[in-house]
Structure 1
Amino acid sequence: MNRKALVALIAVGAAVVAVAAVAAGSDELQLTNVATANTKSVGYSPASRLSRGLAQIAVAQGATKVENPQGIVTHYGYENDVPSGGDPTVPLMTPAGAAATEAQKTEPDKNTYLVLENQHGADPSVDYGTHFLFQGHEAGAPVTGGKQGYITRINLDADSDHRVTVLATHDATGAPIATIDGSTWDPFARRLLLTTENTANPTYAATVDFPSTVTDVSGALGRGGYEGIQDDSDGNIWIVEDIGGANKPGTTAKIPNSFIFRYVPAHRGDLANGKLQALQVLNAAGAPITQESQTDVDAPDQVALHSYGTTLRTQWVTVHDTAVQGSAPFNANLAAKKAHATPFKRPENGVFRPGSHFGEFFFTETGDTNATSAENDTAGGWGSLFKLSQSNPSASTGTISVFFKGTMKVTGLDNIQFLGRNQLAAVEDAGDTLHGQRNALDSGYAFDTGTDFSNTQNQPVRFLAEGRDPSATIDSATGGFGKNDGDNEITGIHVSNGDPGPDGILGAKAPHIGHGGWRWFYTQQHGDNYTFEVVLAQRNDNDENDD
């Protein structure tokens, strides 16, 4: 079939599907609750289960061969550090024979969807279309100069031979790209921004066309355990850090050790000149809540921060200014501590609520991910969702309150995204230890931002009970052969219409999945590393007994 005709047919089909699963006159999905999570048992690989009316389509998987292999980078989710015994040009994806090993899985992470014209790939004769999904890779095999990270682009309109393009394996200096976690599109700088979750590694800016030029912008944005990264309408860049803290003495509770940052550029799109700020929360007496004030088990400041009904004042403190300190890369985590900013227990990702004019920022706190933590019920051990409110995105002050306190059932919240104007999706990264402790794998939940979750009768809707693929099951049982992760994790949840302009910044418009080009993606990370598009399943209105 003619490619243009096929794309047109798919677009028509998507519009038909959308009518079936979205309430009339609403941009909110009508999600049914998946009653239970999948259980964890030795050798058991259950399938994922979605809300009725949802389906998922794999747009790439770890075993998808890239169109332009570069060194050990040969596949979407594998590096060829351990070749197959039968063909050394391909990686050993599954342990075979007596060899207790396997190839490095690269863990494609946060997704960024863009609709772009005139993009190129490795084959100049191919029309790569206009719909693209970008991601960095969170793990890599050791090479000279570090671990081999890379940036890929899933060409959603292309055939299987050209489905995945490696945009870059090295930065502009020739150094291997560090392993990457978060990503977003900065419409003012016209660059992808990519984080590396390591205070020793760069924060990157990358061009989107092939081949990508990748530069280190950590002289202005800093280096930290950065994960989530997000623009606002003023051109500020919000960064959410994920660095686990040391244990509090005699417990498995962690000392809060990660910060919320805001980069204020000298002008919109300037990634070389500006100020990096960190969020500081003030306690009821007006004193900063710091790491020192949260070091004791159930420290009063920490308990207050995690108490329903408590609203605390916030302010931004400058931790670095290129006009003062210059543009050498710097450790943002240490700078935030020196400035007495407020750390949290792994606040991994954040997003603005649509319709708030970038005045409401919701972010996750993953917590301790251990059922034995002494602070689970009191001080964020089960994790949390926070709401930061400001008069505008550049305001110097605001307020913060806990929106949802985790429980053993809903815990380890990590990636976050709005599905509609008031429908917030947050997904778990509980980890293998807690999976075993509670006998439940990860789930994805939808939260109504108008609901009072201090009332325990109110619970979020589970829209995804994630399963566990056979590769992840093997890795969980073997410790990943010393290099790969275990149980699958939900990551890279991303809802966008692909608009590369300022109106496409997440939070600028309310998503309306299935309409107006809005699409929903996520990655089932670890194991086989599938990246899925979630679609609204078509309903046959002629079916009988469809209640």
Structure 2
Amino acid sequence: MLVAAGGLALAATVVAGAPAQGMGRHGAGRGLALTGVPANAKVAGLTVANALSPELAGWVAAQGSNRLENPVADIPFFGYRGDGPLLPAPGDLPAAGHLVEASKTEPDKNTYLVLHGQRGADPHYDYGTHFVFQGHEAGATGFITRVNLDADTAHRVTLLATATTDGKPLPNFDGSTWDPWARRLLFTAELGAGGGVWQSTLDGSRTEDISGALGRGGYEGIQNDSAGNLWVVEDSGGATVPGTNAKLPNSFVYRYVPGDRGDLTQGKLQVLQVFSRRTGAPIAFQAIDAAHPQGNAFSDDTKDLHTYGLSFGTKWVTIHDTATDPASAGFDANALAKAAGATPFKRPENGQFRPGSGFREFYFDETGDTNATSTANDGYGGWGAVLKLSQADPKADTGTLSLVYNGDKEHTGLDNVTFLDNDHVAFVEDAGDSLHTQRGLLDSAYLFDLRADYAHGAQPVRFLAEGRDPSATLDSALSGRTGFQNDGDNEITGIHASNGDPSPQGVLGAQRPTPFGGGWRLFWTQQHGDNVLWEITRR
């Protein structure tokens, strides 16, 4: 048993020879001991319930069929668009030009804030003080919602914005955060040349594309540090190496340094460069060409990055500065990162600073190839990984990178991340329908103990085994049919622990989390299917 700060006892490590995945109760005493649960199997046509550690309970905060308090024709519900019924009619099958069900909007990353004086569509209603903000990831356009946790059903979800202030449709959003210095919600779009960063006021009345400063890319994770910088993690899949099902590392980690913390439209974008232990040169992107038929998917440096016990020097390299290029058109950050010799990773998706580290330790994941047949799975990052970037302070230009955890078939497709206390971090899977089928398992959420030795048999605890709700089970059966537009199996996303503090002291990583106490709350989204926003509490 490991007793964390704040009295939470976390069974976060399973050593070789112990029950698989922490099965059975670990520990006793003050606080909460988390017991591992087995993964849920994927079986055609079978609906299965989510399974949480028995010390935890889950509560529905919102679900896709919640009608918005201020709907528009195209967006009437929290998790469904207005282009069809919520479920297919009996016997109805998709066809070209014929939708059998409404498009799912996929509410994604959660941002929890405690705020006063928030208003909504009903000027006479008290909306309370506890809110979860989300961007939506799927459909013809994106939009922003606010879940009013203190409100009744009629006022539960408010539509905040569907377009920028100058009338341009919002893109599909993925990541989100709150910037306390700029007093703006930030949303990222994982859309390559169409991606970037958008900012919004809390009421959605002013929503702007600020990609002219932060660039275009497959942006997903976004997080402030204590200096007011923004750390952005890119998820941009690379080309597949012929005959391998392995993809090139093609995504980068960025740091945006605003000239004024209160104005995110002016500043410089930097990209992380990692140095080879073998040559001392930057580990740079290598395209597939005649001289390099596998690019750098199977290079010695890529293997080293996924080897326990090694550390690498790092440096931040500036690739764009609004002081010298004030043009408002978004620039291609991924292309500039490659030109600058920055280091590509295997689809990193999210990152967060370790509480108590003084913003000197940043942990981020790699999703990997999400394919059990990738020949990069063993040794070259195909199963994904957890990595740690250490610096003397968040503004430092140099640091070191090291491997925390190498994924495997059972722990892969890592996506969203949140810290539960100073030493325990949760990563959740988005392995995808194909890998679900290949391994016969649905997604899971894992708790990692950062004091554990994962190089020698330790494994994280599975505290959430995601199931598959009826809608997702139906969608899985329809997937691949001509005319069917929705994803299949459910996905875990939006894992988010916060006390909702909207001040600079509330930036994630600044305060020590006290799980399920002291105002700290834990949320996650069961994407696809019924699109449910869950809150996890003590049982």
- Does TM-score exceed 0.5, indicating one fold? yes
Match of 1:39 in 2: 41
Structure 1 residues 95 and 347: alpha-carbon distance in aligned structure 2, compared to 1, 3 A threshold:
farther
| 2:472 aligned partner | 472
* 1:254 matched to 2:253: no
Cα distance in structure 2, aligned partners of 1:510 and 1:351: 13
Percent identical across equivalent pairs?
58
Tell me what 1:178 maps to.
Answer: 171
* Distance in 1 between residues matched to 2:209 and 2:500, nearest whole Å: 25
Q: Which residue of 1 aligns with 2:233?
A: 240
8 Å Cα contact 1:350/1:364 also seen in 2: yes
Aligned length: 503
Following the alignment from structure 2 to structure 1, what is the Cα–Cα distance between the partners of residues 107 and 528?
9
Q: Contact (CA 8 Å) 1:445, 1:463: kept in 2 or not?
A: yes
Deviations along 1:93-138, whole A, 9 cap, x unmatched? 3454434321100000000000000000000010000000000000
After superposition, give the CA deviation of every residue in 1:507-527 in whole Å (9 maximum; x if it has no partner): 001111221100000000111
8 A Cα contact 2:32 2:55, kept in partner = no
| Contact 1:28-1:419 at 8 Å conserved across structures | no
After superposition, residues 282-297 of structure 1 pair within 5 angstroms as 282-284=275-277, 285-292=279-286, 295-297=295-297
- Rounded Cα–Cα distance in structure 1 between residues aligned with 2:213 and 2:399: 24
Q: C-alpha displacement at 1:400, in angstroms?
A: 0.3
Q: 1:426 to 1:95 in 2, by over 3 A?
A: farther
Taking only aligned residues, the RMSD between alpha carbons, in angstroms, comes to 1.9
**Distance of 2:31 and 2:364 partners within structure 1:** 20
- Counterpart Cα distance in 2 of 1:151 and 1:62: 14
Matches within 5 A, 1:445-484: 445-456=446-457, 458-479=458-479, 481-484=483-486
Structure 2, unpaired ranges of 5+: 1-5, 12-26, 95-99, 288-293
**1:67 partnered with 2:61:** no
Higher deviation after alignment, 181-190 or 21-30:
21-30
Supply the distance in 2 between the matched residues of 1:21 and 1:66 (Cα, whole angstroms).
Answer: 39
- Counterpart in the other structure of 1:442: 443
1:415 is aligned to 416
Q: Secondary structure at the match of 1:185?
A: strand
Q: Partner of 1:385 in structure 2?
A: 386
Please tell me the residue identity of whatever aligns with 2:251. Answer: S
Partner of 1:518: 520
| 2:129 matched residue in structure 1 | 130
| Partner deviation per Cα, 1:238-283 (whole Å, 9 max, x = no partner) | 0000111110122100000111000001021321110000100000
TM value normalised by structure 1: 0.89
CA–CA distance in 2 between the matches of 1:27 and 1:316?
43
Amino acid at match of 1:495: A
1:450-474 CA-partner distances (Å, limit 9, x unpaired): 1110002x11001001100111111
CA–CA separation in structure 1 for the residues paired with 2:430 and 2:490: 9
Corresponding residue of 2:342: 341
User: Partner of 1:153 in structure 2?
Assistant: 146
Secondary structure of the structure 2 residue equivalent to 1:454: helix
1:100-499 equivalence runs, <5 A: 100=94, 101-140=100-139, 147-198=140-191, 199-209=193-203, 211-284=204-277, 285-292=279-286, 295-328=295-328, 329-456=330-457, 458-479=458-479, 481-499=483-501
| TM, length-normalised to structure 2 | 0.90
Determine helix, strand or coil for the equivalent of 1:316.
strand
Q: Amino acid of the residue matched to residue 425 of structure 1?
A: A
Partner letter of residue 454 of structure 1? A
**TM-superposition CA deviations, 1:68-99 (whole Å, max 9, x none):** 002310000000112xxxxxxxx443454434
User: Separation in 1 of the partners of 2:274 and 2:238?
Assistant: 19
Amino acid at match of 1:286: G
> Shift of residue 201 of structure 1?
3.7
SS at 1:472 equivalent? helix
**Gaps spanning 5+ residues in structure 1: where?**
1-17, 83-90, 141-146, 538-547
Kindly provide the amino acid, as one letter, of the partner of residue 54 in structure 2: R
1:512–1:69 distance in 2 versus 1, CA, 3 Å: same
What secondary structure does 1:325 align onto?
coil
Describe the shift of the 1:19–1:335 C-alpha distance in structure 2 as closer, same or farther (beyond 3 A). closer
- Tell me which residue corresponds to 2:290: none
Aligned residue for 1:30? Answer: 33
Contact 2:249 2:296 in 1 (8 A): no
**Cα deviation digits, residues 298-325 of structure 1 (max 9, x gap):** 2111001111011000000111110112
Find the residue that maps to 2:454 and give its secondary structure: coil
**Residues 27, 420 of structure 1: 8 Å contact kept:** no
Determine helix, strand or coil for the equivalent of 1:475: helix
Distance 2:249 2:10 in 1: 40
Report the equivalent of 2:51: 49
- Residues 385, 202 of structure 1: alpha-carbon distance in 2 compared, 3 angstrom cutoff: closer
Q: CA contact under 8 A between 1:78 and 1:93: conserved in structure 2? A: no
* CA shift in 2, pair 1:22/1:372, >3 Å: closer
The CA distance in 2 between the partners of 1:43 and 1:405, in whole Å, is: 32
Residues 22 and 536 of structure 1: is their aligned pair in 2 closer, same or farther, counting only changes over 3 Å?
A: farther
Residue 36 of structure 2 aligns to which amino acid in structure 1? N
Whether contact under 8 Å (2:9, 2:30) holds in the other structure is: no
**Conservation of the 8 A alpha-carbon contact between 2:358 and 2:393:** yes
Change (3 A) 1:287 1:113: same
- Following superposition, the deviation at residue 234 of structure 1 comes to 0.1
Counterparts in 2 of 1:25 and 1:334: CA distance versus 1, 3 Å: farther
Query: Contact between 2:190 and 2:196, CA under 8 Å: does it hold in 1?
Result: no
User: How has the CA–CA distance of structure 1 residues 19 and 305 changed in structure 2, closer, same or farther, with 3 Å as cutoff?
Assistant: closer
Q: Quote the Cα distance in structure 2 between the aligned partners of 1:289 and 1:482.
A: 41
Give the CA deviation at 1:52: 1.6
